[in-house]
Each structure stands twice: as structure tokens, then as C-alpha cells.
């Protein structure tokens, strides 16, 4: 799992995961272009959506599925951005 800072201002796909507990695993499946897949808490998703700096887990992926682990209890989002056409699905796997 990577953690970083990124400035972005477009969201190709958004999945509101709701309240998740630490250790829950998120499975993201992509079909189409390589994409940025970001796991963000509510504060950072709001920053991302408004083009401000944000902190996230994830990064740029060329293959799927992608597995991301929820680091702590909170309200979480998955944002997907791509330079091309991509279809995505997100599944929450209990730990």
C-alpha cells in the first residue's frame, strides 16, 4: 500500500464506501485504461474533488484487481481517474 500526496481535479469514478473499520479490504476491478485508484477519507476526498492537495492510499495501476486495506475507522471513498476509458467495480471484503 502506498501513501502519498497528489494534486488532481477530475474524478472518473467515485465510490462512497461509508463507515468502514480498520482492516477492511477493498477490492477494485478495472476494465480498460490504466488508472489512478485512490482510497481517501472524507476530508481528503473533499480536497481531491476540489483540486486541492490530498493524502491517499493507492496510486497508478495497470492491472487489476487491486486490494487496498482501510487503515482506520472512518468514512472512506474510492476515487478513480484515468486518461482514457475505464469501467470500475468496488467490493468491500470483510477482514
3-class DSSP state of 44: helix
Q: Which helix (H) or strand (E) holds 35?
A: strand 35-41
Give the residue among 40, 44, 39, 20 at the shortest CA–CA distance from 28.
39
CATH number at residue 53: 2.60.120
Q: Characterize the bridge pairing of strands 66-69 and 13-20.
A: unpaired
Q: Kindly give the confidence (pLDDT) of every residue in the chain, 95 residues in length, as a single tens digit, with 9 standing for 90 and above.
A: 444 444 444 456 899 999 999 999 999 999 888 899 999 999 999 999 898 999 999 999 999 999 999 999 999 999 998 877 888 899 999 76
The total domain count for the chain is 1
Alpha helices by DSSP H, 10-90: 42-49
Full domain range(s) for residue 25: 3-93
Amino acid at each position: 500500500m502506498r501513501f502519498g500526496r497528489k494534486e488532481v481535479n477530475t474524478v472518473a469514478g467515485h465510490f462512497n464506501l461509508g463507515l468502514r473499520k480498520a482492516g477492511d479490504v477493498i477490492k477494485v476491478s478495472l476494465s480498460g485504461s490504466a488508472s489512478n485508484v485512490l482510497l481517501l477519507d472524507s476530508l481528503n476526498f473533499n480536497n481531491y474533488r476540489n483540486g486541492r492537495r490530498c493524502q491517499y492510499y493507492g496510486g497508478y495501476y495497470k492491472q487489476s484487481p487491486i486490494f487496498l486495506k482501510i487503515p482506520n475507522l472512518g468514512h472512506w471513498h474510492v476515487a478513480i481517474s484515468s486518461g482514457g476509458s475505464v469501467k470500475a467495480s468496488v467490493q468491500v471484503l470483510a477482514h
